[in-house]
Amino acid sequence: MADASNKSEVSAALRLLKGVAGELRELASDTARFGEALADDCNIAGANPSIGLLQRFDLFAQNMRAQALLIDRLSTRLEEGSADDAVLHDLIGHVPFFGMRERLRAVMNGVHGQVMAPAEEVADEHWF
């Protein structure tokens, strides 16, 4: 009977992962719409310093979409029973942001603390 209970718990966890992915996707869409509304309301010119902030909104939304896709793919692999280290590294490899990929790899490998990106990559990161 414990086996059936464990399968039920795993199924519930997978459904939760998929739900979190959906929530992230919705948050990404809302964030993108918010950035677009700001751009429309402000009639921003090309040289306006607010352009950088709007670009960050876009990157923030892309980040959330990437995380949602990662969660979707991970939950699918878990459901199929194929989530070994090679699969996990492959899934992380599809994340479009260098810093996020490195942080996820570090967490997966049990490394604690802040993972820093190489200097040339930091400029491409979207966090302040």
What ranges do the domains of the chain cover? Answer: 2-122
The CA distance from 84 to 54, in Å, is: 39
98 burial (CB, 10 Å; 0-12 / 13-18 / 19+) is: middle
Q: Output the pLDDT for position 1.
A: 47
Q: Output the pLDDT for position 115.
A: 57
Contacts 24+ apart (CB under 8 A), 30-37: 31/57, 31/60, 31/61, 31/64, 32/57, 32/58, 32/61, 35/61
Question: Could you tell me the two tokens for 11?
Answer: 């199924």
- Which parts of the chain have pLDDT scores under 50? 1, 118-128
Q: Output the pLDDT for position 126.
A: 45
114 φ, ψ (degrees, to nearest 5): -80, 130
Q: Output the pLDDT for position 104.
A: 85
Whether 71 contacts 17, CB under 8 Å:
yes
Q: Output the pLDDT for position 30.
A: 84
